[in-house]
Amino acid sequence: MSNHLFDAVSSAAPDLDAPFLETLDGRRWSYGDLFDGSARLAATLAALGVVPGDRVAVQVEKSPEALLLYVACLRAGAVFLPLNVAYTPTELDYFVGDAEPRLLVASPAAAAALRPVAHRHGARLETLDAKGGGSLMALVAEHGVPSFDNIDRGPDDLAAILYTSGTTGRSKGAMLTHDNLLSNALTLKDFWRFTPADRLIHALPIFHTHGLFVATNTILASGASMLFLPRFDAGEVLSLMDRATAMMGVPTFYVRLAQHPGLTPEATAGMRLFVSGSAPLLAETHRAFEEKSGHKILERYGMTETNMITSNPYDGDRVAGAVGLPLPGITVRVTDPETKAIVGAGEVGMIEVRGPNVFKGYWRMPEKTQAEFREDGFFVTGDLGKIDARGYVTIVGRDKDLVISGGYNVYPKEVEAEIDELEGVVESAVIGVAHADFGEAVTAVVVKAEGASVSERGVLAALDGRLARFKQPKRVLFVDELPRNTMGKVQKAALRQRYADLYQPAKVG
Ligand code: MLC
Ligand code: AMP
């Protein structure tokens, strides 16, 4: 039987003994272990009644077994649905209700809180911990067999659903097909010159596009290997560089590395590639990193719905502040947001994209899907940018009301809705304010009712447990009224300007 994505992975593996993954505590997986372990998990999924097309929702700590579960879902024809570990049970309730997974795999620590969620939506609940233990692995011991007849999956079949928060309304599940993922992985492998000799430092979470698809799928499509870290720590990452060849990260990784005294040409001598994406990399970070290490970071641009869209070249000019050229097979254009006409070179407009990388649509939301595609098949990214005469794309802003903090997207509307519900709050506006470490920091500007005793600490305490930690404001500020334009719309640009220095270190003198 043919399975579009998995077949490509198995043919890329150099041999069964070739290394695939190593953890910090010295555990090692070869490609043979990956195939064996994912077969056992796929057989277990089938024994639990997971049939092709079923969703398998997964909210677990990062572990090699969680990656094997992703591969097992591909082989079993299931749709993998990873969820940020920071999401609260309240947030999970929506995703599970919307996606209706057959199975929800959670961390043991979250199981008690998630049992009612799973029950309410008819999902079976199993657990998986960071060390590869939990009830799911106990079932593997019972049902797992080392060979599995992969379910037939063609290019257009669903491989994964990743939720992206909506600027209006609820989160949308982006449906990604086997070919969306494979085409992009093969393109990145060639564009970034990955071979089986590569070893990637993997310090990203594996519940988003960057860590799961850009990093892992590219490694799988290349038959390469990775050093698999539970989280990013600058010192640890630096200490591993003499055993690795490449790293992918969000700008915060590079900000922190550039501040670390251990970043030197000697420490990075064995590395051939540093890739950054998911949020804007400041030109000053690009330069500081190069000055200290001798390496020019390669910045690329993409999103959940489209995988990777553009990349700076491997050999050519890596331009600080630009996200590079459209990847092979992908077309990018910039249009006037009002007239929809294509604008001239160097003019700013809406970035639109078309190619095999672009998702199939939003899960059970045909109208929302239609609204974000042009008639000729281009997807409207919501990012504002320009293309210069050489074809380099630069992102200059966003048409969508979105804050990107340390590479995580936060939709202000979701945070505002929670704050507005609090007693004594009249209204709020949530904005992203420049932050040296996170790029942007979620910041709430609140109007309280006359005489109300709402405090910053009170607001933060009320949000705790309702919103994932990274969505909670770093500061809550109070004002008498929010600035509005003549249409009555809150002027967020004015607020961003007013608080531009909020997180800057105080200037001396
Ligand atoms: C952690 N915190 C954050 C945060 N991460 N707050 C805001 N934004 C974030 N991104 C909170 C913690 O809960 C903690 O709060 C406090 O901030 C300090 O934590 P820390 O120890 O400094 O954080 P750390 O664990 O080091 O995490 C920072 C980080 C991490 C940048 C390493 O957030 C990260 O790995 N981000 C990567 C996100 C990612 O993979 N994005 C890709 C999306 S895909 P407290 O109060 O508990 O102390 C995509 C498409 C594409 O966008 O193009 O790739
Ligand atoms: P997500 O919805 O989490 O996939 O985030 C995608 C968004 O991240 C894009 O629409 C961009 O706004 C932003 N993004 C990704 N890469 C870059 C980059 N290199 N520079 C600026 N913004 C980026």
User: Which ligand 1 atom is the nearest neighbour of the CA of 469?
Assistant: 13
Contact 84, 75 (CB under 8 A): no
Q: For the segment 103-161, what is each residue's pLDDT rounded down to a tens digit?
A: 999 999 999 999 999 999 999 999 999 999 999 999 999 998 888 999 999 999 999 99
The finding on whether 383 has its CB within 6 A of some atom of ligand 2 is: yes
Residue nearest to atom 20 of ligand 2 (CA): 280
Candidates 263, 298, 290; CA nearest to 191 is 298
The reported pTM is 0.97
Amino acid at 115: R
What integer pLDDT is reported at residue 166 of this predicted model? 62
3-state secondary structure of 471: helix
The single residue listed with the structure tokens 């979701």 is: 414
**Residue 282: nearest ligand to its CA?**
2
Across 188-304, where does the E strand assignment appear? 199-202, 225-228, 246-249, 273-276, 298-303
The finding on whether 277 has its CB within 6 A of some atom of ligand 1 is: yes
What integer pLDDT is reported at residue 505 of this predicted model? 75
Distances (CA, A) of 114 to 53, 192, 323: 23, 40, 40
What integer pLDDT is reported at residue 168 of this predicted model? 61
Structure tokens at 90: 């309240």
Q: Report the C-alpha gap between 169 and 484 in whole angstroms.
A: 22
Q: What are phi and psi of 348, to 5 degrees?
A: -85, 140
Q: How far is the CA of 278 from the centre of ligand 2 (A)?
A: 4
Residue nearest to atom 24 of ligand 1 (CA): 232
Q: For the segment 340-370, what is each residue's pLDDT rounded down to a tens digit?
A: 999 999 999 999 999 999 999 999 999 999 9
The finding on whether 250 has its CB within 6 A of some atom of ligand 1 is: yes
Whether the predicted pLDDT of 410 surpasses 90: yes
User: Which ligand 1 atom is the nearest neighbour of the CA of 406?
Assistant: 10
Predicted confidence band of residue 509 (pLDDT cuts 50, 70, 90): very low
Q: For the segment 9-56, what is each residue's pLDDT rounded down to a tens digit?
A: 999 999 999 999 999 999 999 999 999 999 999 999 999 999 999 999
Whether the predicted pLDDT of 507 surpasses 90: no
Predicted confidence band of residue 170 (pLDDT cuts 50, 70, 90): confident
Q: Report the C-alpha gap between 310 and 303 in whole angstroms.
A: 10
Q: Report the C-alpha gap between 382 and 369 in whole angstroms.
A: 13
Q: How far is the CA of 395 from the centre of ligand 2 (A)?
A: 9
The finding on whether 62 has its CB within 6 A of some atom of ligand 1 is: no
The finding on whether 470 has its CB within 6 A of some atom of ligand 1 is: yes
Q: What percent of the chain has pLDDT over 90?
A: 96
